[in-house]
Amino acid sequence: MSVWFNPAREIDALLRKAATSVPGFEADFDPELKSSDPRHADFQANGVLAAAKKAKANPRALASALLESLRTEGGVDEKLIQVEIAGPGFINFKLTPVALGSWLREYRDESKWRAGAARLMGGRKVVIDYPSPNTAKQMHVGHLRPIVIGEAVARLVEFCGADLVRDNHIGDWGTNFGILILAIRRAGFQLDAKSPHALEDLERLYKEGSAATKADPALMDAARAELAKLQAGDAANTALWKEIVEVSNAACQRIYDQFDLKSDVILGESFYRDKVDQVYAELQQYGLAEESEGALVAWHDEEPRFSRHAETKMPFIIRKRDGSSNYASTDLATLLYRLEHFKADEIIYVTDGRQQDHFHQLFVTGAKWFKASKRRLPRLRHVWFGTILGEDGKAIKTKSGDPVRLQALIDEATERAYQEVKKKNPDLPEAEHRSIAKAIGVAALRYADLSSSRTMDYTFSWEKLLAFEGNTAPYLMYAVVRVRSIFRKSGLAVGQGEEGATDPETPTEIALARKLLGFTAALDSALEDLRPHHLCTYLHELAAAYGAFYAADSVIVDEPAVKARRLMLCSRTTAILEVGLRLLGIEPVERM
Ligand code: ARG
């Protein structure tokens, strides 16, 4: 008896295969298998209805022909899965308690789940581009989402078997360096990379420089001259630029450390500065780019908005009028590098939603370019997100109108978590209050961000973020603590005491077992369009199912088989909660 890690996937594949030998089903038949109301079934296939309509056949007859073919093909093991036709031609699949018990015994820990999930992305070389901030600025609240979402997506993809490269594509080669270098020179400022204020100083100087160049065209020309010198490789400007980037990277690193974010490579825009000429040359050679008012641009006439005939002219500008490269040129060069150097099968870009047009044009241009040059095109995905709003419904800001610094946000989250933990568990030693608060603070920031669909804006609220009830990080972390305490109190390690566990029996045991198995579907949905909130929703539901089980069924009972199976349910619950939280970037704690 083989136990499937992800029964829905297996059933889906079997149905597709069974359909190929039944007249009436087309080759691309989609069973439309969905999770179902658990009272009736675990999964329901609705696709027969559409197929029957197309073939002008009776849906129930077609459904039974499909089941007949499924049976001859070897079908599903009826000890594990009950199959029946329902309604006008749906097919219901219900996992038996034997199946639930077998799954729990077989898929007992992270290594098993990883192996099971590896079917999803196994062997794929994936480059993920995050958090990719622009340099010479302190990190602010706007940097929270690329860090948090990027990290969760990276962990998810890696868990599902991808061979992953985390590439931090920093913006370290913009026009702003001309202004900044000029401002530094004019102020006679000595950049001290070791000073803790170095980045603040640079930010202040940039603001001054930016105001000054706006006010005085001669200064603007001077800034342009500094930039031109830098781009031409002038030694003094290059040295200064390097220092600025180092200061900036060091400050970012202090933030990354608190979010446990590690990049494999940091290949910023500057890395591609000598690789853009090939882009200009090839795109012109293939007739994909043309000069327009001095700039080099790509049109996409088949795309209403990016066509040269459109009213609002929006070409993809790949070289500026003054001959310098821009965001588009470096991104095209980056695309080629990721194909040639990393052999990427897939590239995932994590940025805010305002860059959708850019990535749309990049992907279309890249596809045409690689087709013309007979290169393989990696799968390209833009994982974009909405804005964090303040309670007033506008983008979150400080009272003075500046963006909230990310470090200030972390500090406040930690301080608030500290107050909560002290209130909840006053007897713990102070040092532990502090370390728990640190874990919860950052976890709460992350979870609030990840728990709603990323493409939506969300309203930032300290109360909601740190609540110990509801769909929050503290609630889930606390659920882990509660399950673990059962083991601690009985002197067992998690995973111990489940020898001889029988299959789930009571309604609450069965409901919890079914939820545990739902981990595989949650992974599927989160991976499908790279939306971690599916995982959050699932973990929250799992914690609730555990709550109902714990309220109804005592764990530490006399009958050995019952006790063993309930301990098994507890152990799987905490293990899946912990793995799930880690996938979101959250490290569970022992006590809180
Ligand atoms: N530096 C850009 C920004 O802060 C994001 C870069 C995203 N990655 C890319 N390959 N374009 O908006």
| Span 9-55, pLDDT tens digits | 999 999 999 999 999 999 999 999 999 888 889 999 999 999 999 99
Question: What does residue 383 show for φ and ψ, rounded to 5 degrees?
Answer: -95, 100
Residue 171 CA: which ligand 1 atom is closest? 1
DSSP string, 158-209: HHTT-EEEEE---B-SSTHHHHHHHHHHHHT----TTSTTHHHHHHHHHHHH
Decide: 521 and 118 in contact? Cβ < 8 Å.
no
Residue 362 CA: which ligand 1 atom is closest? 11
Ligand 1 in reach of 169 Cβ (< 6 A): yes
Quote the ligand 1 centre to 218 CA distance (angstroms): 31
Decide: 545 and 512 in contact? Cβ < 8 Å.
yes
| Span 500-533, pLDDT tens digits | 999 999 999 999 999 999 999 999 999 999 999 9
In a domain, 155, yes or no: no
Same domain membership, residue 186 and residue 82: no
Q: Of 276, 277, 268, 222, nearest to 248 (Cα)? A: 268
Ligand 1 in reach of 572 Cβ (< 6 A): no
Nearest C-alpha to atom 4 of ligand 1 is from which residue?
A: 133
Quote the ligand 1 centre to 282 CA distance (angstroms): 23
Checking if the pLDDT of 1 tops 70, the result is no
Helix H or strand E encompassing 290: strand 290-292
Ligand 1 in reach of 129 Cβ (< 6 A): yes
Same domain membership, residue 558 and residue 441: yes
Same domain membership, residue 179 and residue 60: no
| Span 369-425, pLDDT tens digits | 999 999 999 999 999 999 999 988 888 888 788 889 999 999 999 999 999 999 999
Quote the ligand 1 centre to 368 CA distance (angstroms): 22
Q: How far apart are CA 460 and CA 443, in angstroms?
A: 14
Ligand 1 in reach of 334 Cβ (< 6 A): yes
Binning the chain into helix, strand and coil, the percentages to the nearest 5 are 55, 10, 35
Same domain membership, residue 422 and residue 532: yes
Report the DSSP pairing between strands 388-389 and 458-459. parallel
Q: How far apart are CA 568 and CA 241, in angstroms?
A: 58
Ligand 1 in reach of 132 Cβ (< 6 A): yes
Report the DSSP pairing between strands 379-385 and 346-352. parallel
- The last residue of one of the domains, among 95, 130, 150, is 95
pLDDT at 193: 84
Count the neighbouring beta carbons within 10 Å of the beta carbon of residue 320: 15
DSSP string, 316-384: EEEE-TTS---HHHHHHHHHHHHHHTT--SEEEEEEEGGGHHHHHHHHHHHHHHHHHTTPPPPEEEEEE
Q: How far apart are CA 110 and CA 159, in angstroms?
A: 10
Quote the ligand 1 centre to 402 CA distance (angstroms): 21
Question: What does residue 396 show for φ and ψ, rounded to 5 degrees?
Answer: -70, 135
First and final C-alpha spacing in the chain: 42
pLDDT at 11: 95
Percent with pLDDT over 70 in the chain: 100
Count how many residues are written for the chain: 592
How far is C-alpha 333 from the geometric centre of its chain's CA atoms? Answer: 24
Q: How far apart are CA 301 and CA 307, in angstroms?
A: 4
pLDDT at 395: 85
Ligand 1 in reach of 352 Cβ (< 6 A): no
Give the mean pLDDT of 319-336: 94
| Span 94-124, pLDDT tens digits | 999 999 999 999 999 999 999 999 989 999 9
- The last residue of one of the domains, among 225, 259, 293, is 259
- How high is the mean pLDDT of the chain? 95
What Rg do the C-alpha atoms of the chain give, in angstroms?
28
Q: How far apart are CA 423 and CA 436, in angstroms?
A: 13
How far is C-alpha 447 from the geometric centre of its chain's CA atoms? Answer: 12
Q: How far apart are CA 81 and CA 104, in angstroms?
A: 15
Range of the domain at 186: 174-259
Tokens standing for residue 385: 């997100």
Same domain membership, residue 202 and residue 71: no
In a domain, 322, yes or no: no
Q: How far apart are CA 134 and CA 69, in angstroms?
A: 58
| Span 50-93, pLDDT tens digits | 999 999 999 999 999 999 999 988 888 989 999 999 999 999 99
Decide: 93 and 63 in contact? Cβ < 8 Å.
no
List CB contacts of 333: < 8 A, sequence separation 6 or more.
272, 275, 276, 278, 279
Nearest C-alpha to atom 6 of ligand 1 is from which residue?
A: 132
CATH of the domain at 18: 3.30.1360.70
In a domain, 157, yes or no: no
Burial class (CB in 10 A: 0-12, 13-18, 19+), 394: exposed
pLDDT at 175: 82
pLDDT at 107: 96
In a domain, 34, yes or no: yes
Indicate the pLDDT class of residue 270, thresholds 50, 70 and 90: very high
In a domain, 179, yes or no: yes
Calculate the alpha carbon distances from 14 to 43, 74, 77, 98 in Å. 14, 9, 12, 21
Residue 358 CA: which ligand 1 atom is closest? 11
Same domain membership, residue 60 and residue 179: no
Q: Of 587, 577, 546, nearest to 476 (Cα)? A: 577
CATH of the domain at 450: 1.10.730.10
In a domain, 249, yes or no: yes
Give the mean pLDDT of 474-479: 96
Sheet holding 125-129, edge to edge: 163-167, 125-129, 346-352, 379-385
SS3 for 452-505, per residue?
A: CCCCCCEECCHHHHHCCCCCCHHHHHHHHHHHHHHHHHCCCCCCCCCCCCCCCC
pLDDT at 32: 96
Quote the ligand 1 centre to 170 CA distance (angstroms): 7
What domain count does the chain have? 3
Ligand 1 in reach of 134 Cβ (< 6 A): yes
pLDDT at 391: 85
Quote the ligand 1 centre to 318 CA distance (angstroms): 15
Same domain membership, residue 189 and residue 68: no
Q: Of 2, 75, 12, nearest to 44 (Cα)? A: 12
Residue 327 CA: which ligand 1 atom is closest? 11
- The last residue of one of the domains, among 215, 241, 259, is 259
Same domain membership, residue 590 and residue 489: yes
In a domain, 117, yes or no: no
Checking if the pLDDT of 178 tops 90, the result is yes
Same domain membership, residue 89 and residue 206: no
Indicate the pLDDT class of residue 2, thresholds 50, 70 and 90: confident
Catalogue the E-assigned strands of 53-107: 81-86, 90-95
Ligand 1 in reach of 351 Cβ (< 6 A): yes
| Span 205-248, pLDDT tens digits | 999 999 999 999 999 999 999 999 998 999 999 999 999 999 99
Decide: 180 and 202 in contact? Cβ < 8 Å.
yes
Same domain membership, residue 588 and residue 493: yes
Percent with pLDDT over 90 in the chain: 90
SS3 for 530-590, per residue?
A: CCCHHHHHHHHHHHHHHHHHHHHCCCCCCCHHHHHHHHHHHHHHHHHHHHHHHHCCCCCCC
Indicate the pLDDT class of residue 429, thresholds 50, 70 and 90: very high
Same domain membership, residue 589 and residue 457: yes
Q: Of 535, 501, 414, nearest to 152 (Cα)? A: 535
In a domain, 109, yes or no: no
What type of residue sits at position 127? V
